[in-house]
Amino acid sequence: MNQPASSLSTAIPTPLRWVGESDGHLEVLDQTLLPTQLAWIACRGVDVLVEAIQSLRIRGAPAIGIAGAYGLVVAAREAVDAGFMPERARSHVRQQAEALACARPTAVNLRWAVERSLAVLERAARDASAGAIVTILLDEALAIHEEDRRLCTAIGRYGAAILPAGDLLTHCNTGTLATGGDGTALAVITTAWQEGRRFMVFADETRPLFQGSRLTAWELVQRGIPVTVLVDAAAGQLLRTGRIAACIVGADRITAAGDVANKIGTYSLALLAAAHGVPFFVAAPSSTFDLSMDSGDGIPIEQRDGDEVLRPLGRAAAPEGAHAYNPAFDVTPARLIRAIITERGVIEPVSRNRIEEILLGH
């Protein structure tokens, strides 16, 4: 289904949806076409979903985690269609699970959701048919999707309670389009707005793929929240004016020490915020934490195609023969972060002990 994005109501479309029952299929919203066009991609094969994840047709750490869970359902449907016996069906799902988990290496939610669903499959009866496996995995994917919706609401509530009054600066997209609910950092912003607070949201355009200007600004306009788009390099000048009360971003992986991997440009923004005495907040679900990783030094940083830099939006921005440096993420050390907002509470100060206290109850 294609339609002009301008024809939408104020409801923001979900980034993915399961259509039908156990004999149905997955659809993902092609976010590369926003904000001008809405198009859904039917993912009846795992290869189609992997391509959608890698090409950022679906993106945002929580959303691709949910997509990974549904991807195992798609794999099980493949087994049904191929007429596989139970053991071969399980083997096929495991094989496709690894392809899904590796589709994007930095965001930990993807592997987390895939492994959680695999664990459910391993607990199922050994002689369960391929059809039964589809039902088992679909139930788990739907549960993960619903859990994300609820935790987005909790993150919004916790974050709005600590957000200082005044205008806000955000980076990349952390809203409905990136999650199974209202978002992470953007949920904090929209919750504060719904509670009656008034402010301007400044959205970095977020080069090279413009998730801030194409997606975040579009979500905020749909919700009636005032938004101003700025080029990433203008953030320092904006902070220097004293107008910004806080910066708030999302995350793709958070270590045991509280170091945060997020969209490229986040680290620069955190440094600028620190230099100007502006609090820097991160909002993310507990599934984004990788407590097996000690510090940010070990986080794998995805390197993407140089054409995203050299030919943004399909137009040449550099001469033939020029090279591009295009890391998708960077790492912000815990010392630059005022607090991390999760569905389980606020981690402040950002320290190992406080992370364990909030996430593990220690």
Q: Concatenate the DSSP letters of all residues of 87-126 into one string.
A: HHHHHHHHHHHHHHHTSSSS-HHHHHHHHHHHHHHHHS-T
Q: What is the CA radius of gyration of the chain?
A: 20
Q: Which two tokens stand for residue 335?
A: 């010392």
Sequence-ordered strand ranges (E) for 131-251: 167-170, 201-204, 227-230, 244-249
112 with 55: CB under 8 angstroms? no
Neighbour-count burial of 129, counting CB atoms closer than 10 A to its CB (0-12 exposed, 13-18 middle, 19+ buried): middle
Q: Is residue 259 flagged as an active site residue? A: no
Contacts of 350 (CB under 8 A, 6+ apart): 258, 334, 335, 337, 338, 339, 340
Which residue in the list 252, 259, 290, 330 is annotated as catalytic? 252
Question: What backbone torsions phi and psi does residue 258 show, to the nearest 5 degrees?
Answer: 95, 10
Q: Is 269 left (phi over 0), alpha (psi -120 to 50) or beta?
A: alpha
Measured distance CA(296)–CA(286) in Å, rounded: 17
Q: In what order do the strands lie in the sheet with 227-230?
A: 227-230, 201-204, 167-170, 244-249, 280-283, 339-342, 345-347
245 with 164: CB under 8 angstroms? yes
Q: What DSSP state is assigned to residue 18? A: E
Closest CA relative to residue 289, chosen from 244, 334, 349, 322 = 334
Would you please indicate which residues are annotated as catalytic (active-site) residues? 252
